[in-house]
Amino acid sequence: MTLKYVGPKPIISHTGIEFDNNKEDKFAYLNIVVQLLKAIDHKYFEDKIYTYNADAGRLTSDELLNELKKYCPEVDQLMQRANHHIEEEIEHDIKRARENTILTDEDKIVLEKNINIMHDYLIQRSINKAIYYCAVDALALILREGHVDHIIVPMFQTFFHVLHSIQGSLKRQKMPVESKLEIFQKDTKLLARLQIKNN
């Protein structure tokens, strides 16, 4: 199993397959999470400001996986679990399609075929999502343990999405950490800041 981009969330029905562009594949955010992990994973000195210029180049799937294994050593098991979980979901959806009392027999066959067409796509999205959240949780832990006050990033949708995920992870920790996500302008640049209220 590997990491690779597949695309937005599919909406599968007996009439065809559509895609929800508001539900992007988590693979699209992995490069940013890895860049942030590399930027933040070091010793900190109190009252010092750290700046990190993110590498403009995108990492290959293999490079991403190698970097992620440093922070999520259980990557292979996560992939296996995600694969197993989505396989069960696909089987359940096929069973529901076959037992559907509203659709005609022909529509049931079409729905089952559409589900099968998207089989590998669904598995890859599930794997990407599991790895993404593992990396985000690792990043949240580093922020908490390093007593990082804030992170400022360019205000792009991908960066904002990652900061929002980190905020959710901080909230879900055993000892929840409060944070505030805001957008501001500095020297004509639009930026996003995640303010972390570490004790």
Least confident of 43-52, 98-107, 112-121, 158-167: 43-52
Query: Strand 9-13 to strand 178-186: parallel, antiparallel, or no bridges (unpaired)?
Result: unpaired
Q: How many residues does the chain have?
A: 199
Query: What is the pLDDT, as a whole number, of residue 40?
Result: 85
Between CA 86 and CA 94, with CA 6 as vertex, the angle to 5 degrees is 35
| Encoded tokens for 113 | 């075929």
Question: What mean pLDDT comes out for the span 172-195?
Answer: 91
Position 56, amino acid: A
Once rounded to an integer, what is the mean pLDDT over residues 164-176? 91
| Token code pair at residue 37 | 């992990």
pTM of the predicted model over 0.95: no
Q: Is the pLDDT of residue 44 over 70?
A: no
How far CA 144 is from CA of 42, 47, 139, 182, 185, in Å, comes to 13, 16, 9, 19, 26
Predicted local distance difference test score (pLDDT) of residue 52 = 60
Mean pLDDT, all residues of the chain = 90
Q: What's the mean pLDDT in 91-109?
A: 95
d(CA 59, CA 35): 10
Listed residue (109, 82, 85, 81) closest to 97, CA to CA? 109
Q: Are strands 9-13 and 189-197 parallel, antiparallel or unpaired?
A: unpaired
Contacts of 102 (CB under 8 A, 6+ apart): none
**pLDDT confidence band for 146 (50 / 70 / 90):** confident
Q: Are 115 and 10 in contact (CB under 8 A)?
A: no
